[in-house]
């Protein structure tokens, strides 16, 4: 049912330009303005500390001779979980919790990737092209193979915040396998309950981040909602759709759609309709335990702060959203 997840290489740091959080009354109803203000305030309260090799660990990993995975600072773990749940909240999804054992396994996996100085430009799920280093035991190697095959992986050379890693995964703009939005689907899974988090630096300067997302018990859980759209209905951050290689998506928890539907996007402020481009259907992928994954590009659609848009997925659904800035409007 499930294919391997994609790996992303982030060569640019995605940062929200946070400053004043005012809204324009002309663009938003009072209810929308209140919601925007609340979302901006909640985002502003999230920690923006950049992490690097000096402040990422309580105990640094030992990658030479006797292997030790190290211990992440609790702040990094709690920050990353807070960002995951903030983003899930944008889509009306239930929050998830950290599973301590999964984080231990994710940290071992990240440290193994760092020991290998694993090539960030090829698939590292299940470590298919790597050989076990002599200082890594067979037991830990098996954990790394299994965990890497059930996790979102992010490789980056920048001093990112814990939240920037999650922003990379949810926008999925650096997905090596293309527009399937597999990382996003796992983050926004309607069946996901827990995650594990790990991170370690290799000698090559890359931070190898591991987020455990595939839990066997979740497959059989009742979904918290039937559909997830990106952008979501209601107000939605402009920063999460602005930029190159950010596919939009429709996920269904249980409904199987095998066709490739026609999709249009209408700017309700200008009454101009645009045709979606590069429409794909990944219903066989199993990402996020969804039965249907449809992705597409908004094409020539101008994305304007304060504008309202209608998305029509023929034969599936029609919905509206309005863009706002997480930073200054």
Would you write out the chain's pLDDT as a tens digit for each of its 329 residues? 333 344 433 332 233 333 333 344 348 999 999 999 999 999 999 999 999 999 999 999 999 989 999 999 999 999 999 999 999 999 999 999 999 999 999 999 999 999 999 999 999 999 999 999 999 999 999 999 999 999 999 999 989 999 999 999 999 999 988 999 999 999 999 999 999 999 999 999 999 999 999 999 999 999 999 999 999 999 999 999 999 999 999 999 999 999 999 999 999 999 999 999 999 999 999 999 999 999 999 999 999 999 999 999 999 999 999 999 998 65
Q: Exposure of 162 by Cβ count < 10 A (0-12 exposed, 13-18 middle, 19+ buried)?
A: buried
Tokens (6 digits) for 7? 């790996």
Q: How far apart are CA 182 and CA 288, in angstroms?
A: 7
Cβ neighbours for 139, distance < 8 A, ≥ 6 positions apart? none
Tokens (6 digits) for 151? 């996790």
Which of 319, 297, 290 lies closest to 229, judged by CA? 319
pLDDT, residue 1, reads 36
Question: Max Cα separation, the chain?
Answer: 65
Cβ neighbours for 194, distance < 8 A, ≥ 6 positions apart? 96, 97, 98, 99, 102, 215
Q: How far apart are CA 21 and CA 103, in angstroms?
A: 35
Cβ–Cβ < 8 Å for 170, 183: yes
Q: Count each helix (H run) and each strand (E run) in the chain, helices first.
A: 6, 16
Q: How far apart are CA 40 and CA 227, in angstroms?
A: 25
Cβ neighbours for 86, distance < 8 A, ≥ 6 positions apart? 42, 43, 46, 163
Helix (H, G, I), strand (E, B) or coil at 22: coil
Entry pTM:
0.91
Q: How far apart are CA 130 and CA 134, in angstroms?
A: 12
Please report, for residues 22, 43, 162, 165, 226, the alpha-carbon distance to residue 237 in angstroms, rounded to integers and kept in the order given: 14, 11, 19, 17, 22
pLDDT, residue 328, reads 60
Tokens (6 digits) for 139? 């037991």
pLDDT, residue 318, reads 98
Residue at token pair 């996003």: 184
Question: To 5 degrees, how large is the angle CA 305–CA 24–CA 244?
Answer: 15
Residue 231: asked if its preceding bond is cis (omega within 30°), the reply is: yes
Burial string for 186-210 (b: 16+ CB within 10 Å, else e) reads bbbbbbbebbbbbbbbbeeebbbbb
Task: Give first-to-last CA distance, the chain, whole Å.
Answer: 43
């Amino acid at each position: 049912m499930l294919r391997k997840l994609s790996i992303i290489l982030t060569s640019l740091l995605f940062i929200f330009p946070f400053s004043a959080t005012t809204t324009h009354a002309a663009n938003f109803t009072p209810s929308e303005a209140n919601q925007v203000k609340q979302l901006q305030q909640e985002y502003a309260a999230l920690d923006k500390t950049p992490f690097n090799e000096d402040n990422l660990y309580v105990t640094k990993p030992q990658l030479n001779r006797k292997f030790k995975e190290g211990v992440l600072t609790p702040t990094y773990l709690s920050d990353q979980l807070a960002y995951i749940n903030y983003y899930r909240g944008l889509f009306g999804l239930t929050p998830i919790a950290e599973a301590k054992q999964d984080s231990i396994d994710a940290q071992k996996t990240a440290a193994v990737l760092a020991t290998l100085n694993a090539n960030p430009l090829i698939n590292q799920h299940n470590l298919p092209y790597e050989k076990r280093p002599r200082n890594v035991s067979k037991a830990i190697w098996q954990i790394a193979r299994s965990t890497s095959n059930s996790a979102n992986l992010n490789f980056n050379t920048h001093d990112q915040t814990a939240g920037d890693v999650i922003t990379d995964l949810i926008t999925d703009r650096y997905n090596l396998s293309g527009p399937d939005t597999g990382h996003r689907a796992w983050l926004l899974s309607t069946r996901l309950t827990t995650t594990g988090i790990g991170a370690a630096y290799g000698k090559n300067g890359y931070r190898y981040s591991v987020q455990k997302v595939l839990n066997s018990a979740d497959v059989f859980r009742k979904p918290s909602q039937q559909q997830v759209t990106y952008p979501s209905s209601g107000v939605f951050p402009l920063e999460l759709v602005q930029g190159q290689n950010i596919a939009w998506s429709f996920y269904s928890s249980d409904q199987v759609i095998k066709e490739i539907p026609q999709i249009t996007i209408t700017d309700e402020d200008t009454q101009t309709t645009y045709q979606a481009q590069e429409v794909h259907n990944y219903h066989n992928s199993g990402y996020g335990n969804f039965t249907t994954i449809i992705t597409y590009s908004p094409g020539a659609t101008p994305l304007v702060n304060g504008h309202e848009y209608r998305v029509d997925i023929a034969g599936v659904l029609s919905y509206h959203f309005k863009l706002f800035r997480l930073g200054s409007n």
